[in-house]
Structure 1
């Protein structure tokens, strides 16, 4: 094992130097002052501290205050004689062993001497006193006292040294225990699975705390199963082989590990051999502890890992090599280790719960995304034949003007419906953080003018006065053209919607400084209340309750788009009936405008002429009959030879017998998908340019079409102009 986590016994060190000699106290007790004076004269040359007491009572008071090397005590004293005084001296623990020499003039020496010695006297002197004899005896006991005091001091010094060494050893061991627990706690911050935690505990505790560590858990069938271990047994059999031979332990058995599971209390075996001797009369050859026996365990401690009211695991620490044994002090460290395991266990459970919740949330989001995509697909699909039919009929020169106006109404409202579907998809992308930008160098003024062109019909219908003042000198941006034009279109659409007939709309641009451009759209419309202004950019807020159409998503979509361009959008209004002003502030790019424009290519139309040599053949695949029929008529009117199919198999059958220049396919077909159709055409050796036409228009849908081999992906409802342009572009590439 490594450095012990508890201090080893402190060995006795060398003796320290003796304390310096000094005068000691000698107590002289006699009721006669002349005799005290004589004793003082005889002993004065010894250089010791002589204390005089004139009675037994005064002598007792002196003993309460000082320690004496020797007492010279007169026998015959009034009130309290020498013998009575000696008896009281001996009753006090501090003076019970102080040497007493009786001094007496009584001739009946036999009786007095016997009584004196019976009271613990070391000598009995009769007067007259021989000074040399008295000094010799006093010097002997003084020297004895000094040596005794020296031995006491040395013993105290040794004891103090032992205490300091023990305290230092305990402090060092405490530091090692704290460092060990800190290391374990830090290491247990990493694993996020319970099995990893238990395996790590076994690895960390060997050899710091034990030679062998076993970790047990209870199985579903009520038996105890070893789930982790580390270390080397005392015998020649490796630990994995030794463990493999052990049978499962029943939870209701008398094994110590089973007892730890049932009671939730630490099981300490200071000395396993002695424990086995104690239980041998109650069990068969110690089989109740066979794991400990086979490991060659000298000492063991079993610690339950308790979470709440349940014992989740038991940690068994065993000493098999070292001479030390576990003691009760080890329980604190083992329990601290178990608490660290519990905290790591709780973190793992919380992490696993969070992961499960995240997986469920992601699954729910995916399901929601697919539902929205399917919903948009189903909503877009009927719009395609509506728009195609309306545009086809509007191209008929024989129709009356009023009919053409009605067709324009149909087209406009179908496009509005498609815009609402796009808004729903956009707000979904924004809330999920899936709205991405494709930024290029672009002109902010051009985007504003393009948005104005789109809104021109609305301005004319309501006879609005439109003022455009684009005076910003710096108006080049690094921006996603389509998304930023969407913002300007939303602002213009709202201004037209909420401005009464004959009202005014102002569009202007300016540079507040060299780094920014501001685009403002102001109207004289219904205005916005002060209470509504803070919420105007939230989803489904519409400024005020009106009967006008819309979901209130335009501004909610515009704000994140502007913010993704590192810009700011804001709204101001003086109140109801006083109009509103919306300001978009964006960073500009300091790149000079190009002065020249490229002219049309001299070869323009050359590829088209090549295709006029024969009529291009197009295969249209869609399982929606109305869409299929309307698209066929539109393409035939545009001069193409068209064949139709309502599924993958019928399309493959036509492609096998005929040569097509282009394939236009829906993605969701009854007997497969458009992706499968294109892949099968490619596998059969037919490399035909293809256009995906689908109600699925999210970024991942377009990416899937590109991966499947489609050259273009158009989202329903598709305008006839966009379809025509895409077809011409792909045919021109052949």
Structure 2
């Protein structure tokens, strides 16, 4: 091989070596390009997948989501947000949110969203949107291009919270009412104990002092007057309690007849006259003579006026004045609860008056302006409540008026007058008055058996009836009474109910089982401290002809027994 051939071979080898390098380099470049393309594709796919995943996530969440740019124009809205805002995405995308929802301008929603963008802070708040009538909980977080806003409907939660709040308020009000009722009950029981015990002190005290016999006629009369007044006061307190019980149970019944208000008012004034004289109080009357008749219960109406007069005298100062006015008025003003012709009775005193804050509660049961131990005036707080109920039972209306403390008070009762065209259906008043004014026959010549396990009661009733002319025998038990009846049948039986072993009901049952000639049909009156309507019904059902409650005025006792025995007296004489 010559030198030229060798050189050619070397040159050719060198060329081939360069070509191989170039090929290798090209291959590497191609491989690298492929890897770059693959990496870009992968990044593209990842980015595309990420966008898809984010969109899927935003669509799948239960919250509404809106993304806005720095100018508050919508750049993204999910379907839940569009649903809550009652818009389509096309209605929102690319538009400023305040232009789409002008009602949101000036609201907390606008203020908080703009604050979040300006201060680059996240915000969280709740707001009511009247246009949609919903509550939304809103969370807004800033990002580089704008603001991401999440919101959810919390209307039901707010309703539940409001219901819980109202329930809590009702429970609190009920608890306060119960506590108030318990407080009023405790105060009432304390007042009741005081009012029932207080009259006992002068009764027992004067009774013990009189036993010494060291007092002249004037002092004795004063002591007896005090005992009588306090006994009547205690009896009235118990009668008020029974009346309230009847009222609350709907058992109070009226005995309806024509009523002359003048005589009824005068009878009530006579009842309180002693109390007025004790305080040197003048009772001035202005009674129109031709007001007309009232259809009602004379005794219950007298109770109304007695309560109002007692109230006026109690609160009037010594030397004060009480005015009683009766007149006829025509009521028919617009908005009035009564209309037509009414008898108006006004009782005005110069007493302490009524606090304006207490005035709306003056006719409520068990309510007193002052029930503390420092109160100046006594009572149970029942009288005026009974007045209102009895007045309304008669179709009337009672009101109270006072200028304030220290300026007296006026209580006004309006009662409907019987119309002229309906008077012919009523008994003529003069005949009615004459019929009920006829003196009752005395008990002279009647044989009366008294049955009571309390010796003091037996002795008192026996003394009263003997003073009225009756022949009296007594028994301390039902067994003793049956023995007496077996020997000689009395004309009348006056019997207690609550007795040991055999009570009055059982005794009456045994007597009614006897043959007529043995006393099975004798007249019988229950005289008992069981004074309720139910007890009265029980007594009449057991066979008693009359039920009288203790304590009873001696004159009333004689009057009632005389009335029931009037037919028997005719037979005797």
Q: Which of the numbers 601, 621, 626 marks the counterpart of 2:456?
A: 626
Instruction: Give 3-state SS (helix, strand or coil) of 1:623's partner.
Output: coil
- Deviation readout 1:272-305 (Å, 9 max, x if unpaired): xxxxxxxxxxxxxxxxxxxxxxxxxxxxxxxxxx
Aligned to 1:74: none
Q: Which of the numbers 709, 715, 722 marks the counterpart of 2:543?
A: 709
Question: Residues 652 and 569 from structure 1, CA distance in 2 versus in 1: closer, same or farther, beyond 3 angstroms?
Answer: same
Structure having the larger proportion of residues in helix: 2
Q: Is 1:473 aligned to 2:290, yes or no?
A: yes
Whole-angstrom distance in 1 between the partners of 2:431 and 2:540: 32
Query: Is the 8 Å Cα contact of residues 649 and 671 (structure 1) preserved in structure 2?
Result: no
- Deviation readout 1:439-463 (Å, 9 max, x if unpaired): 2221222221111111111121111
- Deviation readout 1:325-373 (Å, 9 max, x if unpaired): xxxxxxxxxxxxxxxxxxxxxxxxxxxxxxxxxxxxxxxxxxxxxxx9x
Whole-angstrom distance in 1 between the partners of 2:397 and 2:446: 49
Query: Is the 8 Å Cα contact of residues 354 and 402 (structure 2) preserved in structure 1?
Result: yes
Q: Which of the numbers 467, 488, 497 marks the counterpart of 1:658?
A: 488
Equivalent positions of 1:632-711 (< 5 A) are 632-685=462-515, 686=519, 687-711=521-545
Instruction: Give 3-state SS (helix, strand or coil) of 2:294's partner.
Output: strand
> Which runs of 5 or more structure 2 residues have no equivalent in the other structure?
1-188, 331-339, 569-573
Aligned to 1:437: 254
Whole-angstrom distance in 1 between the partners of 2:354 and 2:347: 14
Whole-angstrom distance in 2 between the partners of 1:525 and 1:599: 36
Equivalent positions of 1:498-577 (< 5 A) are 498-513=315-330, 515-544=341-370, 546-577=375-406
Displacement, 1:418? Answer: 0.9
Displacement, 1:599? Answer: 10
- Deviation readout 1:401-436 (Å, 9 max, x if unpaired): 221221111111111111111111222222233323
Aligned to 2:221: 404
Displacement, 1:566? Answer: 1.7
- Deviation readout 1:667-689 (Å, 9 max, x if unpaired): 11112221222232222121221
Query: Is the 8 Å Cα contact of residues 474 and 517 (structure 1) preserved in structure 2?
Result: yes
Q: Is 1:584 aligned to 2:394, yes or no?
A: no
Whole-angstrom distance in 1 between the partners of 2:491 and 2:472: 10
Displacement, 1:543? Answer: 4.0
Aligned to 1:720: 554
Displacement, 1:716? Answer: 0.4
Query: Is the 8 Å Cα contact of residues 618 and 642 (structure 1) preserved in structure 2?
Result: yes
Whole-angstrom distance in 1 between the partners of 2:432 and 2:299: 23
Query: Is the 8 Å Cα contact of residues 508 and 544 (structure 2) preserved in structure 1?
Result: yes
Equivalent positions of 1:216-365 (< 5 A) are none
Instruction: Give 3-state SS (helix, strand or coil) of 1:718's partner.
Output: coil
Q: How many residues align?
A: 345
Whole-angstrom distance in 1 between the partners of 2:404 and 2:387: 22
Whole-angstrom distance in 2 between the partners of 1:525 and 1:606: 41
Whole-angstrom distance in 1 between the partners of 2:432 and 2:455: 44
Question: Residues 595 and 658 from structure 1, CA distance in 2 versus in 1: closer, same or farther, beyond 3 angstroms?
Answer: closer
Aligned to 1:275: none
Question: Residues 661 and 403 from structure 1, CA distance in 2 versus in 1: closer, same or farther, beyond 3 angstroms?
Answer: same
Query: Is the 8 Å Cα contact of residues 526 and 547 (structure 2) preserved in structure 1?
Result: yes
Query: Is the 8 Å Cα contact of residues 472 and 517 (structure 1) preserved in structure 2?
Result: no
Question: Residues 569 and 598 from structure 1, CA distance in 2 versus in 1: closer, same or farther, beyond 3 angstroms?
Answer: closer
- Deviation readout 1:390-410 (Å, 9 max, x if unpaired): 8xx99x9x9712212211111
Instruction: Give 3-state SS (helix, strand or coil) of 1:733's partner.
Output: helix
Displacement, 1:657? Answer: 0.9
Instruction: Give 3-state SS (helix, strand or coil) of 2:560's partner.
Output: helix
> Which runs of 5 or more structure 1 residues have no equivalent in the other structure?
1-371
Aligned to 1:422: 239
What TM-score comes out, normalization by structure 2 length?
0.55
Query: Is the 8 Å Cα contact of residues 442 and 477 (structure 1) preserved in structure 2?
Result: yes
Whole-angstrom distance in 2 between the partners of 1:630 and 1:622: 11
Instruction: Give 3-state SS (helix, strand or coil) of 2:457's partner.
Output: helix
Whole-angstrom distance in 1 between the partners of 2:381 and 2:433: 43
Aligned to 1:482: 299
Displacement, 1:600? Answer: 7.6
Displacement, 1:549? Answer: 1.9
Instruction: Give 3-state SS (helix, strand or coil) of 1:634's partner.
Output: helix
Whole-angstrom distance in 1 between the partners of 2:216 and 2:466: 20
Aligned to 2:23: none
Aligned to 1:61: none
Instruction: Give 3-state SS (helix, strand or coil) of 1:651's partner.
Output: helix
What TM-score comes out, normalization by structure 1 length?
0.44
Displacement, 1:526? Answer: 0.5
Instruction: Give 3-state SS (helix, strand or coil) of 1:629's partner.
Output: helix
Whole-angstrom distance in 1 between the partners of 2:433 and 2:242: 39
Whole-angstrom distance in 2 between the partners of 1:692 and 1:508: 40
